[in-house]
A and B are shown apart, each in its own frame.
Chain A
Amino acid sequence: AQSVAQPEDQVNVAEGNPLTVKCTYSVSGNPYLFWYVQYPNRGLQFLLKYITGDNLVKGSYGFEAEFNKSQTSFHLKKPSALVSDSALYFCAVRDYSNYQLIWGAGTKLIIKP
Chain B
Amino acid sequence: DAMVIQNPRYQVTQFGKPVTLSCSQTLNHNVMYWYQQKSSQAPKLLFHYYDKDFNNEADTPDNFQSRRPNTSFCFLDIRSPGLGDAAMYLCATSREGAGSSVYEQYFGPGTRLTVT
Contact = CB atoms under 8 A, between A and B. Distances in A.
A49 B96 contact: no
B1 to A, nearest CB: 13
Interface in A77-113: 88, 90, 94, 99-101, 103-106, 108
Contacts of B88: 41
Nearest to B90: A43
Main secondary structure on A side of the interface with B: strand
Contacts, number: 50
A41 B108 contact: no
B105 A46 contact: yes
A56 B39 CA distance: 32
Interface stretch (B40-48, B58-66, B76-84): B40-48
A41 B48 CA distance: 22
B112 interface: yes
Interface in B22-50: 31, 33, 40-43, 45, 48
Given A43-B90, A44-B90, A103 B43 contact: yes
24 contacts: A32-B103, A34-B103, A41-B88, A41-B112, A42-B110, A43-B4, A43-B6, A43-B90, A43-B107, A44-B43, A44-B107, A46-B106, A46-B107, A49-B103, A51-B103, A88-B40, A90-B43, A94-B103, A99-B31, A99-B103, A103-B43, A106-B40, A106-B41, A108-B40
Interface of A: 32, 34, 36, 41-46, 49, 51, 88, 90, 94, 99-101, 103-106, 108
